[in-house]
Amino acid sequence: MWLREELLKSIWHAFTALDVDQRGKVSKSQLKVLSHNLCTVMKIPHDPVALEEHFKDDDKGPLSNQGYMPYLNRFILDKVREDFDILEFNKMCWTLCYLKNICTKNLLITDNDAFKVWCIFNFLSEDKYPLVIITEEIEYLLRKLVETMGSEWSEEKFADYKLHLNMKNNCLTAWELIELVGMGYFSKGMNRHTLSLGINDVFQELIMDVLKQVRQDVDLMCSEYFHFSHPPTPPPQHSHSFSLKYSVTL
């Protein structure tokens, strides 16, 4: 079962991207589209009237994140099933938010590489909003990426970078992390292809392997449920007299 906290991280990015005025609120019409997209990708029956009914007494216009949460919980997250494609879900949320926050044209990575870094960011960040990744997790990711590419980790270089982090409250947003990785500061001497392969390897280890394990756990749970809910039909019990008669016949 997908953890609600992890799903909310991706949804938060999408909600924030729709907040064009950066007032912490999103129009109902945009939330209708977001809700429809979420229901579609998560294979949840969508009731187009439910959102209007839910907010029929709220005529104040745009809704805050807190205002949308009760609807999101009741009509979407409470109905989540295990069989939807979590990567497709993340891709949908990513598509809504990345163009408004990052441009990879001047970076050493592609949009697909950036998406993978974004997924890793969501995985490593705590479920506290606004989402950030702290110094320890930044070092963990960069070290893993550098070593995956076959290079040597430089404690001295990261110590210098931590001085820069001090001015950012020792944390980075998803977009700052993507920019950091994409600028290649910790992968100098590596070409784009090597960096892309390194990102993909870390993505496979931290994201895909975890998803694979989750799917296996879900399949096991379903198998056990089916086993206990539908016990095999026991073999017919022959009467004692039948057995005796059969043995005598032999």
Q: What per-residue confidence (pLDDT) applies to 22?
A: 82
Judged by phi (left if over 0) then psi (alpha if -120 to 50, else beta), residue 189 lies in left
DSSP 10-23: HHHHHHHHH-TTSS
Q: What is the pTM of this model?
A: 0.84
pLDDT band of 219, cuts 50, 70, 90: low
Query: What is the residue whose two structure tokens read 């960096």?
Result: 195
Task: Summarize pLDDT for 127-145 with one digit per residue, the tens.
Answer: 999 999 999 999 999 999 9
Q: How confident is the model at residue 56 (pLDDT cuts 50, 70, 90)?
A: confident
Question: Would you state the pLDDT for residue 239?
Answer: 34
Each domain of the chain, given as residue ranges in start order, spans: 4-87, 102-203
Q: What is the DSSP letter of 109?
A: S
CATH class held by domain 4-87: mainly alpha
User: What's the pLDDT tens digit per position in 93-117?
Assistant: 999 999 999 999 999 999 999 999 9
Alpha helices in 100-237 (DSSP H): 111-124, 135-148, 155-166, 174-183, 192-203, 209-229
Question: Which residue from 17, 25, 203 is spatially nearest to 121, judged by alpha carbons?
Answer: 203
Q: Could you tell me what percentage of the chain is helix, strand and coil, using 3-state DSSP and rounding each to the nearest 5?
A: 65, 5, 30
- Cα–Cα distance for residue pair 34/56, rounded to 1 Å: 18
